[in-house]
Structure 1
Amino acid sequence: MYIETEATPNPATLKFLPGRQVMAAGTREFTSPEDAEVSPLAQALFDLGDVTGVFFGQGFVSVTAAPGAEWSDLKPQVVSILLDHFVSEAPLFVGGDAAGFSVPAEDDADYGDDPADADIVEQIKDLIETRVRPAVANDGGDIVYRGFRDGVVYLAMQGACSGCPSSSATLKQGIESLLKHYVPEVTEVRAA
């Protein structure tokens, strides 16, 4: 088995491609060792000590290195853990893969879509799903719709996109422009 790596726009994050499915559906982000307790793979990556984030996509794993960590030292360790995991065909999650769907954390703000905006929200979600998410996944991350209120779309960046120096530009110049073009009711896009 061979695991490819790709740079992402976030210099702290590398994208690892095992050449096989990682998540059957959805995505999952881990931002602390405590979050990672549900996944033996994520937990093993955090146990390296120099990892501050792990993100599972459909066909990739993005790993974020701690400030000061050198990828030249960390990358072989990450590849070794990934190889061991995928060669052994160990489960991705404790209790099976069903635990993997990305769901908003309990402390995420509720932006409360107005039922009167249902058609607008559907257009926004469709554009995000068909135009934005595939591009963001290519960069080792994901984007999650959080809500639409008073013309403002709230989105959360995950994986390599979370904390990326270019994420503000992606939101404002890329996603906001796209949504405003196709959905005139959108006046702004904000990070949630």
Structure 2
Amino acid sequence: MFIETETTPNPAALKFLPGQTVMAAGSREFATPEAAEASPLAQAIFDTGEVVNVFFGADFVSVTAAPGAQWSALRPQVIAILLDHFVSQAPLFTPGTASGISVPPPEDDLAVEERAEDAEVIAAINELLETRVRPAVAGDGGDIAYRGFRDGVVYLTLQGSCAGCPSSTATLKHGIEGLLKHYVPEVVEVRAA
């Protein structure tokens, strides 16, 4: 088995491609060692002590190094962990834990109450996110989560290597906002949530 690596726009993150399916559906982000307890693979990567985020995509794993960590030392460790996991065909998730599609973290201040009359606009936004945006951010080792639409504002969260990336604001404001405004005139702004 051979695991390829790719750089991402986030200099702290690398994208690892094991050459096989990682997540059959959806994605999953682990932003803390406690969250990683749901996955033996994510937990093993966090156990290096030099990681602040692990993200599972359809066919990749992106890993964000902690400040001060050097990829020259961390990269071989992560590759060894991934090789052990995929060669042994170990389960991706601990039995009995929530697995699969990324679930937004509970954030009370994030509750965006959507109106029924916005259903068509919301459907158009979600279709564009699914067909145009999600494949592009997956190419960079991340994903995007829709959080809501209210009064012309779309609320989104970047995940994986895209979270905390120096170009994330440009991605949201110039890339995604421009695309959504062009195709969905009701959209006036995109905000990070």
- Paired residue for 2:66? 66
Distance 1:107 1:146 in 2: 11
Question: Which blocks of at least 5 consecutive residues in structure 1 are unaligned?
Answer: none
Q: Which amino acid aligns with 1:57?
A: G
Deviation at 1:107, TM superposition (A): 2.3
- How many Å apart are 1:65 and its aligned residue? 0.2
Counterpart of 1:29? 29
Q: Secondary structure at the match of 1:91?
A: coil
Tell me the residue number matched to 2:114: 113
Please, what TM-score do these two structures have when normalized by structure 2?
Answer: 0.97
**Aligned AA for 1:61?**
V
More displaced stretch, 22-31 vs 92-101: 92-101
Tell me whether 1:41 sits opposite 2:41 in the alignment. yes
Percentage of pairs with the same residue: 70
* Matching of residues 89-128 of structure 1 within 5 Å: 89-95=89-95, 99-107=99-107, 109-128=110-129
Aligned to 1:179: 180
Query: Counterpart of 1:55?
Result: 55
Any unmatched runs of 5+ in structure 2? none
Question: Which amino acid counterpart does residue 168 of structure 1 have in structure 2?
Answer: T
Structure 2 partner of 1:75:
75
**Counterpart AA for 1:76:** P
- How much has 1:66 moved relative to structure 2? 0.3
Give CA-to-partner distance per residue, 1:99-155, whole Å, 9 cap, x none: 122111122611121111000000000000000000000000000100000000000
Q: CA offsets per residue over residues 12-69 of structure 1, 9 Å max, x none?
A: 0000000000001000000000000010000000000001000000000000000000
Verify: 1:15 aligned to 2:15, yes or no: yes
State the partner residue of 1:3: 3
Cα offset, 1:156, TM superposition: 0.3
AA partner of residue 14 (structure 2): L
* Deviation at residue 98 of structure 1 after TM alignment: 6.8
Asked whether the 8 Å contact 2:28–2:55 carries over to 1, the reply is: yes
Would the aligned equivalents of 2:38 and 2:97 in 1 still touch at CA under 8 Å? no
User: Distance between the aligned counterparts of 1:106 and 1:172, measured in 2?
Assistant: 24
Residue aligning to 1:152: 153
8 Å CA contact 1:91, 1:97 repeated in 2? no
TM-score, normalising length from structure 1?
A: 0.98
Q: Distance in 2 between matches of 1:113 and 1:26?
A: 23
The answer to whether the 8 A contact 1:27-1:57 is kept is: yes
